[in-house]
Amino acid sequence: MIDPKFIGKTYPPRRYVVGIEKIKEYTFATDERHPLCTKPEVAKDGPYGEIVAPPMFAVVYQKQMMGDMLLDKDLSLNVMMLVHGEQEFIFHKLVKHNDEVITTGKLLGAEAKKGNLIVKFELDSSVDGEPVTTGFFTVLIRGGAS
User: In this model, does residue 31 exceed pLDDT 90?
Assistant: yes
Query: How many Cα atoms within 13 Å fall on the side-chain side of residue 128?
Result: 6
Residues β-bridged to residue 133: 91, 125
Mean pLDDT of the chain: 95
The pLDDT tens digits for 34-77 are: 999 999 999 999 999 999 999 999 999 999 999 999 999 999 99
Residue 136 belongs to domain spanning: 4-18+53-141
Residue 66 belongs to a domain with what CATH number?
3.10.129.10
Residues 54 and 37: beta-carbon distance below 8 Å: yes
- Residue 144 — very low, low, confident or very high, per pLDDT cuts 50/70/90? confident
- Structural domains of the chain, count: 1
Residues 92 and 133: beta-carbon distance below 8 Å: yes
Query: Does residue 26 sit within a domain?
Result: no
Query: Does residue 23 sit within a domain?
Result: no
Q: Using alpha carbons only, how large is the chain's radius of gyration in Å? A: 17
Beta strand ranges found along the chain (DSSP E): 10-17, 82-91, 100-113, 116-127, 130-141
pTM (2 d.p.): 0.92
Query: Does residue 102 sit within a domain?
Result: yes
> What gap in Å lies between CA 142 and CA 139, rounded to an integer?
10
